[in-house]
């Protein structure tokens, strides 16, 4: 009898464990039901168009007639197009120059705002505002007024007797004005840097001060190494955004990519090929090449990160 009672107790204990396990791991059908609209959108608005564009990149398609399979002709024509390589060069220059300067400025201002000054929330909102407006048509139009021949920049230079050029109308300076516009939208990485700075324990700086380390030494020995995961995150994110830049170049150049194709961004040329020339097959090939380039840049950053990104472990 005693053995029978013990078996019953064991069975009851097993039932309790199973019931607790069911409570801990509830049925996922409800969660999947709520996620269903997102999965439908992912399939219909992302994966579906990507597969369709991949197919169109191997065809001759002008939106008016059925696509005709041409194999690698679009890619062959693309790699032999001088205008394609010029747009690629302009875009890579924009990325390699604009992104590091933007991140450096964002980090500098984040460290300034991290000092606990009064009205921190107000300053943070003011500095973040350009990131919300930087890609808008209104700001791009404003940029034309600022860097035009009679713009604010030349008005300021006139006080010192300098006759400035039409910055957006000169092929040597037009791309530089767009890089300045990109740098000006530093608010988003600045807020992320500020959050990262708040996570660094103050005791590290106190110990460094006791050892006689100055501000510069503390920055390079404490702040920067502990902030490298945030730097890496911002770097990858801003490179992807910079490769997709379109509105600024389209509005500032009037949709021409001028002067002399100096602001002909890759996405702008892709847009012109697709909707001005109605060469959707060629534009699809350009789009997939851009995907591969961005993926290559991202993969290279992840590979390189093991040499300069430091985590807690």
Predicted confidence at residue 313, as pLDDT, reads 59
96 pLDDT exceeds 80? Answer: yes
Predicted confidence at residue 1, as pLDDT, reads 45
**CA–CA dist 99, 26 (Å, integer):** 45
**CA–CA dist 225, 201 (Å, integer):** 13
Segment 240-260, tens digit of pLDDT: 999 999 988 888 888 888 888
| DSSP secondary structure of the chain | -HHHHHHHHHHHHHHHHHHHHHHHS--SHHHHHHHHHHHHHIIIIIIHHHHHHHHHTTEE--SSS--EE-TTHHHHHHHT-HHHHHHHHHHHHHHHHHHHHHHHHHHHHHHHHTT--TTHHHHHHHHHHHHHHTTSHHHHHHHHHHHSTTSHHHHHHHTTT-----GGGSTTTHHHHHHHHHHH--HHHHHHHHHHHHTS-HHHHHHHHHTT--HHHHIIIIIHHHHHHHHHHHHHHHHHHHHT--HHHHHHTTTS--STTTT--HHHHHHIIIIIS--HHHHHHHHHHHHHHHHHHHHHHHHHHHHH-----
Task: Indicate the length of the chain as a whole number.
Answer: 313
8 pLDDT exceeds 80? Answer: no
Domain residue extents for the chain? 80-308
Per-residue pLDDT, averaged over 159-169, amounts to: 84
Per-residue pLDDT, averaged over 31-39, amounts to: 90
298 pLDDT exceeds 80? Answer: yes
Reading the block at residue 239, the tokens are 């490179």
Q: From 178, 106, 95, select the one nearest 139 (Cα to Cα).
A: 178
Q: What value does the mean pLDDT of the chain take?
A: 86
**CA 214: distance to chain centroid?**
34
Buried (b) or exposed (e) across 108-127, using 16+ Cβ within 10 A? ebbbebbeeeeeeeeebeeb
**CA–CA dist 250, 264 (Å, integer):** 8
Per-residue pLDDT, averaged over 175-189, amounts to: 90
- CATH code of the region 80-308: 1.10.3720.10
80 pLDDT exceeds 90? Answer: yes
């Amino acid at each position: 009898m005693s053995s029978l009672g013990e078996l019953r107790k064991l069975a009851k204990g097993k039932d309790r464990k199973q019931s607790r396990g069911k409570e801990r791991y509830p049925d996922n059908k409800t969660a999947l039901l709520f996620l269903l609209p997102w999965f439908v959108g992912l399939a219909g608005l992302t994966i579906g168009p990507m597969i369709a564009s991949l197919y169109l990149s191997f065809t001759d398609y002008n939106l008016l007639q059925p696509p005709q399979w041409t194999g690698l002709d679009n890619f062959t024509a693309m790699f032999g197009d001088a205008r394609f390589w010029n747009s690629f060069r302009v875009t890579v220059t924009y990325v390699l120059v604009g992104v590091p300067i933007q991140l450096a400025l964002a980090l500098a201002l984040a460290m300034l705002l991290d000092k606990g000054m009064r009205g921190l929330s107000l300053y943070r909102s003011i500095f973040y505002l350009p990131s919300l407006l930087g890609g808008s048509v209104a700001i791009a139009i404003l940029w034309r007024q600022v860097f035009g021949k009679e713009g604010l920049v030349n008005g300021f230079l006139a006080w010192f007797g300098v006759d400035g050029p039409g910055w957006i109308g000169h092929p040597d300076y037009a791309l530089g004005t767009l890089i300045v516009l990109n740098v000006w939208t530093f608010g988003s990485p600045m807020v992320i840097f500020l959050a990262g700075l708040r996570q660094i324990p103050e005791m590290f700086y106190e110990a460094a001060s006791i050892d006689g380390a100055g501000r510069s030494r503390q920055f390079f020995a404490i702040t920067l190494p502990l902030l490298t995961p945030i730097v890496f995150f911002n770097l990858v994110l801003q490179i992807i955004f910079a490769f997709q830049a379109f509105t600024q170049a389209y509005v500032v150049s009037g949709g021409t990519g001028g002067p002399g194709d100096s602001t002909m961004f890759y996405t702008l040329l892709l847009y012109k090929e697709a909707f001005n020339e109605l060469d959707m097959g060629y534009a699809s090939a350009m789009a997939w090449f851009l995907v591969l380039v961005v993926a290559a840049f991202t993969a290279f950053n992840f590979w390189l990160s093991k040499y300069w990104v430091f985590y807690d472990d």
